[in-house]
Structure 1
C-alpha cells in the first residue's frame, strides 16, 4: 500500500491508472474530489483578495455553497462501489469514524450559528428603530425634538447594553429552543469554541493522510472542509462562548491546502487587527471575543456608535448651557438648531442603510445555514449506510468461505 498509496495522492489520474486499470474509476472520482475542493477554495480566495473585510454575508454564502458542492463530490465518490465498500476496512474505518464525529460537532455549531443569526436580526432592529425615529420628519428641513433624541438613545442602549455606544450586541435567549435545529446548544455549558477547537485537531494518531490512502485523504478532506467552514462562521457571528478558536492545519500535500491556509491567514489577521484597534482605543468591549467579524454587523455597530456619540455630545452641550444659565433659569428649547439636526439626520441615514444591508442579507444566510445543516445530516447518514453495508457484505463473504476483498491502492 505504501508506494501505490502515495501515488494515489497525485492529481494526474494517468500516473496511477497505468498500474491497475481496474481501479481507474475509483482513482478518478477520488482525484476529482480533491480537484473540486481545491478549485472552490481557490475561487473563494481569489474573489476575496480585494482590500477590506473578508467575512461578509456574500463570502459566507459562497463558502456554504462550496461546502454543499464539495459534499456532493464526496458522495459521488461514495457511490462508486469499491470506494464505499472500503469504508469499513483499515485505515479508512478510523478516518470515517473521525469524519462522523466531526459531522456531529459541525451540526451543533451550525445550530448555534443559526440561533446567532436570528438573534442578530432581532437585536439590530433596535438600531433601525433609533434611526427611524430621527428620520420621521422632513429631511430637507429637519426639525428634531429632544424627545426624538431620547427615544433614539434608548434604542441604541438596547443594542449596546454594556456601554452606551460600544460593546457587542446581545443574544436574546427567548425562543432559543423553538428556533433550534437541535437541543444540544440550549445548555449554558455548551461552547462553540470547544467544538471548533476539537474539529481543528489533527487526524487520529498514525492516520495522517500521507501515511494512508486516497480514500483516507478524501475522508480527511471533507473533515477539513467542515472544520474550516464552521470555524469561519463562528469567527463571523457571535456564537455562545466563542473564546479563541484554533484554525485548521491542512496537510501540505493536499491540493486545497494553499487556498485554505490563505483564507485562514486573512481571517486571523482581521481578528488581530480588530483586537489591536479595540485595545488601542481603550474600548475593551469592541475587542471582546464575543463580537463577530461579520462586515455588515460591524458597519451597523460603527454607525450606531457614531450616532450615539453625536447625541451624547448634543446632550452635554445642553447640560453645559443649562449650568451657565442657572442665574436666569429658562426652559430648554424643544428642538435643536438646523445645523445640528442635519448632522443627526446624516448619521441616522447611514445607520438605517447599514441596518437594511444587514437585515436583507441575514434572512437568506439563515436559510442557507439550515440547508447545510440538513445536508450534513444526510451525508453523515450516507457514510453510516456505506459502512454498515460494507460490514454486512464482509460478514456474508466470511460465512460463505469467500476470500477476503483485495485491498485497493486508494
Structure 2
C-alpha cells in the first residue's frame, strides 16, 4: 500500500476549518449589524409619527420630527403606511438576502415564520375591511358636501335648510349604526345604511345627484363579510401568540421577525380604530406592545398605542359602533351635530351673528370635505399596495421555506 501524506492532509483540514470559522464570524457580525440597523430604522420611522408633547409648566419637547400632520388624520395615515412599507422591505432584505435557507427549518424560525405568515393572512382580511370602510367615508363626504352647498347659499332660506338637514341626519345616522345590529335586523339596514354595489365591475357607491332633493338610503357595507367576522377578534387573533424572543434563541433572525409582526399588528390595530369596520368592541385592550422590551424600537410603538388609546377612551363606547377615530371624520361629526341643531331651530331671516357662526362652521366642514376628497383616494391606493405587498412577500418567504423542504408547522395558503 503506498504511503499517504497524513500530515499534509491534516493541515489542509485545519486550514479549511479556520476559514469556515472566520467566515461564520464575519457573517454573524454582518447579521447583527443588519438587525441593529433594521431596529434603528423602525424606531426612527415610528418616532416621526408621534406628535410633539409638552410637560406641564415646561418648555415644549419635540418628540416627533417633521410631523405637521395631525395624529390620526388622513395625511398621518399615509405616513404610517409609508413607514410600514419601508420597514417591510427592509425586513425582507434582512430575512432573505444572503441568508442560509436552512435556518428557516430550525428553531425558532420554523415556528415564528409560519406564525408571521398566518398574521399576514388575517391582515389581508383587515385590508379588505379598511378598503370598504374608506368607501363608506367617501359616502359620508358626499353627504357633508350636500349640506355645505345648501348652507353656502345666500340668503339661507327654508328650502336650503331642509336639504341640509336631510343630508346631515342621514350622515349622523350612518355614523352611529352598530354593525351587529345591522346583521341581526336586516330590515332596518335597508333603511339606515348603504351598500357598495359591485354591479358593472365597480366597487364605488353611486354618486349623489346634487340636483335631487331625495337622498338615497344608506345600507351596510359589511355584507362582504360573514356575520361572525369581527375586526376586533381578528386583531386579537393576530396578537395571541406574539411573544418576545428569548435571549438565547439559536438564531438572531427571531428578533426581526418579532419586530415585523409587532409592527404589522400595531398598524392594523390603528387602522381598525380609525376607519369604520365590522365589530370593534373591546379593541382598546386587545393588544399592547410589551413594556419590558428593552430595544429602542418598542418605545415609539408604545407611545403611538398610548396616544391612539387615549383617543379611543375619549370616544367611549360609541367608538365600537360609530365612525372611528379618523380626525377628519371626528370633526365632520362634531360640526354636523351643531348644524343639525341650527336646522331644527331655523327661523327666517337669520340674524347676522347666527349667520356668521353658521358660516364659520360651514367653512370648516367644507375644509374637511376637501381633505377627504383629496386624501381618501391616495390612502385607499396605499391600502391596496399594502395588500399586494404582503401577498408578494408572503409568497417569497414561502418559496424559500419550500426550498428547504422541512416546514414543520402547517402554513395556510
Calculate the TM-score normalised by the size of structure 2. Answer: 0.74
Flag structure 1 segments of 5+ consecutive residues without an equivalent.
1-16, 137-141, 276-283, 319-332, 394-410
Distance 1:79 1:34 in 2: 16
With over 3 angstroms needed to count, the CA separation of the structure-2 counterparts of 1:258 and 1:381, relative to structure 1, is same
Distance 1:184 1:255 in 2: 42
Query: Which residue is 1:272 aligned to?
Result: 313
Query: Which residue is 2:33 aligned to?
Result: 28
Query: Which residue is 2:404 aligned to?
Result: 390
How far the C-alpha of 1:354 sits from its partner, in A, is: 1.8
Distance 1:209 1:376 in 2: 27
Query: Which residue is 2:150 aligned to?
Result: 133
With over 3 angstroms needed to count, the CA separation of the structure-2 counterparts of 1:267 and 1:87, relative to structure 1, is same
With over 3 angstroms needed to count, the CA separation of the structure-2 counterparts of 1:26 and 1:343, relative to structure 1, is closer
Q: Does 1:203 align with 2:242?
A: yes
Q: How do 1:9-20 residues align onto structure 2 when only pairs under 5 Å count?
A: 20=25
Q: How do 1:38-57 residues align onto structure 2 when only pairs under 5 Å count?
A: 38-45=43-50, 46-47=63-64, 54-57=71-74
Query: Paired residue for 2:121, among 71, 80, 104?
Result: 104
Query: Which residue is 2:227 aligned to?
Result: 188
Per-residue deviation, residues 94-141 of structure 1 (Å, max 9, x unmatched): 0001101101011111111111011101122101101101213xxxxx
Query: Which residue is 1:347 aligned to?
Result: 361
With over 3 angstroms needed to count, the CA separation of the structure-2 counterparts of 1:290 and 1:306, relative to structure 1, is closer
Query: Which residue is 2:263 aligned to?
Result: 225
Q: Does the Cα contact within 8 Å between 1:135 and 1:345 map onto a contact in 2?
A: yes
With over 3 angstroms needed to count, the CA separation of the structure-2 counterparts of 1:59 and 1:81, relative to structure 1, is same
Query: Which residue is 1:305 aligned to?
Result: 337
With over 3 angstroms needed to count, the CA separation of the structure-2 counterparts of 1:152 and 1:37, relative to structure 1, is same
Query: Which residue is 2:390 aligned to?
Result: 376
With over 3 angstroms needed to count, the CA separation of the structure-2 counterparts of 1:85 and 1:173, relative to structure 1, is farther
Question: Which region of structure 1 is more displaced relative to structure 2, 45-54 or 193-202?
Answer: 45-54
Q: Does the Cα contact within 8 Å between 2:116 and 2:257 map onto a contact in 1?
A: yes
1:161 alignment partner, SS class: helix
Q: Does the Cα contact within 8 Å between 1:61 and 1:365 map onto a contact in 2?
A: yes
Query: Which residue is 1:153 aligned to?
Result: 165
Q: Does the Cα contact within 8 Å between 1:146 and 1:336 map onto a contact in 2?
A: no
Query: Which residue is 1:89 aligned to?
Result: 106
Query: Which residue is 1:6 aligned to?
Result: none
Question: Which region of structure 1 is more displaced relative to structure 2, 302-311 or 171-180?
Answer: 171-180
Distance 2:288 2:203 in 1: 29
Query: Paired residue for 2:138, among 121, 131, 142?
Result: 121
With over 3 angstroms needed to count, the CA separation of the structure-2 counterparts of 1:301 and 1:191, relative to structure 1, is same
Q: Does the Cα contact within 8 Å between 2:279 and 2:320 map onto a contact in 1?
A: no
Which aligned segments of 4 or more residues in structure 1 are displaced greater than 6 angstroms?
A: 48-52, 168-171
How far the C-alpha of 1:268 sits from its partner, in A, is: 0.6
How far the C-alpha of 1:209 sits from its partner, in A, is: 4.2
Distance 2:246 2:65 in 1: 28
Query: Paired residue for 2:196, among 171, 174, 186?
Result: 174
With over 3 angstroms needed to count, the CA separation of the structure-2 counterparts of 1:168 and 1:348, relative to structure 1, is farther
Q: Does 1:247 align with 2:287?
A: yes
Distance 1:381 1:18 in 2: 30
Q: CA RMSD in A?
A: 3.1
Per-residue deviation, residues 25-46 of structure 1 (Å, max 9, x unmatched): 3333233222221221222223
With over 3 angstroms needed to count, the CA separation of the structure-2 counterparts of 1:176 and 1:41, relative to structure 1, is farther
With over 3 angstroms needed to count, the CA separation of the structure-2 counterparts of 1:239 and 1:338, relative to structure 1, is same
With over 3 angstroms needed to count, the CA separation of the structure-2 counterparts of 1:193 and 1:248, relative to structure 1, is same
How far the C-alpha of 1:74 sits from its partner, in A, is: 1.1
Distance 1:289 1:52 in 2: 26
- Give the length in aligned residue pairs: 339
Distance 2:303 2:66 in 1: 10
Flag structure 2 segments of 5+ consecutive residues without an equivalent.
1-21, 51-62, 179-191, 205-221, 408-413
How far the C-alpha of 1:202 sits from its partner, in A, is: 3.7
Distance 1:24 1:288 in 2: 47
With over 3 angstroms needed to count, the CA separation of the structure-2 counterparts of 1:51 and 1:363, relative to structure 1, is closer
